[in-house]
Amino acid sequence: MVFISRQMQGTGNRALSFGKSRARLHSESESKITFDDVAGCDEAKEGLEEVIQFLKDPQKFQRLGGRIPKGVLLMGPPGTGKTLLARAVAGEANVPFYSISGSDFVEMFVGVGASRVRDLFETGKKNAPCIIFIDELDAVGRHRGAGIGGGHDEREQTLNQLLVEMDGFDTSEGVILIAATNRPDVLDPALLRPGRFDRQIVVDLPDVKGREDIFKVHTAGIETDPDVDLERLAKATPYFSGADIENMVNEAALLAAKEDKDSVEMSFFDEAKDRVLMGPERRSLVISDDDRRATAYHEAGHALLRHVIPENDPNYKATIIPRGRSLGVSVALPIQERRNFNKKYLLGSITTALGGRVAEELIFGELTTGAQNDFEQATDIARKMVTQWGMSDLGPLSFGRRDYSDKTAIEIDEAVHGIVMECYNRARKLIETNLDGLKKLADGLLERETLVTEDIEEILGPRPQLSPIAS
């Protein structure tokens, strides 16, 4: 108690403001982001136009008795521009923008989170019209009953207060609540009912046209070489988020500056893409000849299976130059983006992930720790096939949170194990059949360190074609 007392004395007035909202008011220059600064999510922008029109001219909607949504929930993967979209709404409507993270509400002391929620909404009402933005809503809005303290933990009290505040304010006051999450599946259903977050907008990964538009936005402020082809870059970066593209453009500019170039050339964008996909090179890392050889066969195993299994995405690059936390990397690059994955594709992905371990085992007759991440990927896909996608002998069932019996849990584990072992045996059979190709790939990696698509096809021949029915 003495320690707590001294802490409070030492912090002075800060103790009195412990329950105050930590929302940050963005300055006018920060808020002057508009929809022109946001690319790759045209449908999401259309969904937010009503909010902008309401903030600009509320009487237009109130005259006919219409009710603007109290809350707008932006849902999508990380890096897709949810926060940027919310700031752009404030910039377009020219209103104050208060932002706070969901994790800022929750503290170890009971009642602090609820107090901060009350203070946040009071601040918003005093400065109306305005936008309140809660990032990472899932940090405070998770399904009640999932916390360690049952129904009485601090997070649930904070969520209850958020629900009360949303019921207690009227959009006629000019306060719009926007929240973002990449985990809508864990949100409490009470948040999503009409009258709360009743407008839900998906902000997904951009398609090829969206990526090209994002490249245009981020390259507008840098000097690019005339040979830079943004359309080609967009086609070569499937599944890249807006944040990935921003990072890639910045990396390319830094590489060009390091080389004292007057403009950013296409080669710098290609190297920047590799950095985003595989991590930065670590050429200074000293590797023994045995480790280097083991890495070459490991990556050759992945590249070989990616080549011979027609359902797989084609090889993009295989390297034994250490990148990021890996001693070597083998990467695929889809020809076209998939929104749906069939069972053959998933089994091919698991088989390819296990190819590195199988190659090491066949060539050296011993096991290493290099396949840890491969096992994680293979197990994750197999478990989703069983528990989410109904692709196992357990049938078309979905197993969510642990609401099933111990017997079912054992059956799930056995089904996952069965899928992984089936793919492991398939990988072993394919590599044994193509052992000569494996050795040629490994020799090529040991000699050149990096093999690109053309090199791999020169060694192994053309890829087997996928039949139209299988695709």
Q: Tell me, what DSSP letter sits at residue 184? A: G
In the structure encoding, which two tokens stand for residue 419, read together?
């899928």
Query: Is 50 assigned a catalytic role?
Result: no
- Residue 233's φ and ψ, nearest 5 degrees, are -65, -40
Cβ neighbours for 56, distance < 8 A, ≥ 6 positions apart: 93, 94
What's the one-letter identity of residue 20? K
- Which residue has 């999508």 as its token pair? 76
Q: Which long-range contacts (CB under 8 A, 24 or more apart) does 291-294 make?
A: 291/327, 292/320, 292/446, 293/442, 293/446, 294/360, 294/364, 294/368, 294/370
DSSP string across 16-79: GGTTS---EEPPHHHH---GGG--S-HHHHHHHHHHHHHHH-HHHHHTTT----SEEEEE-STT
Cβ neighbours for 120, distance < 8 A, ≥ 6 positions apart: 21, 23, 98, 100, 132, 165
Burial label, 37 (beta-carbon count in 10 A; 0-12, 13-18, 19+): middle
- Residue 135's φ and ψ, nearest 5 degrees, are -85, 155
Catalytic hit among 92, 154, 265, 299:
299
Q: What gap in Å lies between CA 107 and CA 364, rounded to an integer? A: 53
In the structure encoding, which two tokens stand for residue 312, read together?
């797989």
End-to-end CA distance of the chain: 68
Cβ neighbours for 22, distance < 8 A, ≥ 6 positions apart: 100, 104, 116
CB 453 within 8 A of CB 316: yes
CA quadruple 101, 103, 107, 112: dihedral, nearest 10: 40
DSSP string across 142-183: BPTT-STTGGGSHHHHHHHHHHHHHHH--GGGSEEEEEEES-
Residues recognised as catalytic: 299
